[in-house]
A and B are shown apart, each in its own frame.
Chain A
């Protein structure tokens, strides 16, 4: 079946612009996660959704970052007024009831 998909795959933007990243989870997966991974670094947790509520948003680095999820489907991560330090790969994962996470291919964001 279809895996997790993310769009766009690559995004180049100018400092100060807003960007919106999209994640389509595996159908039926109620849990959805967003992570950030800077070059050569580990995964940095951003936010976790269970259904369309976010019981853990402790990893969002600033109020410029927000995320929402429609039902148990698509999620969008929005970064307002982008900064150069926001440049990274943004990974989305969804999980089955056994907690196994399946990752999308990521969105590579470059802020100039």
Chain B
């Protein structure tokens, strides 16, 4: 089983739609979680961190479900500019005190006019 799994998509949605992505992780010791966005031929950029209580940033809402070991990203009122690949990121601190950061392979979103 992969450490971090995402549905690769693509998700094709009309402008104004609400779309949700899930990401599952296998290591229950995972400690911090993020969503990144990657535009075509660009580097990944941080979209938002994911907090245990859930958090919202404008049209974007991230949630964490530790019991089921998944995180989600909800995008409301989709814009054409939201078209990108969304990467799920999970961090654990294994013994030795160093970070182990794992990226999912990404979910592609295409917002259609």
Contacts and interface: CB of A to CB of B under 8 A. Distances in A.
A55 interface: yes
Contacts of B102: 45
Contacts, number: 51
Interface stretch (B11-19, B40-48, B53-61, B67-75): B40-48
Interface string A97-112: 0111111111000000
A37 B68 CA distance: 30
A99 B98 contact: no
A42 B104 contact: yes
Interface residues of B, number: 21
Secondary structure at the B interface, as helix, strand, loop or mixed, is strand
B49 A100 contact: yes
A28 to B, nearest CB: 16
Nearest to B42: A105
Interface of A: 31, 33, 35, 41-43, 45, 48, 50, 55-56, 91, 95, 98-106
12 contacts: A43-B44, A45-B101, A48-B100, A50-B98, A55-B96, A56-B100, A95-B101, A99-B91, A99-B99, A100-B46, A101-B46, A103-B45
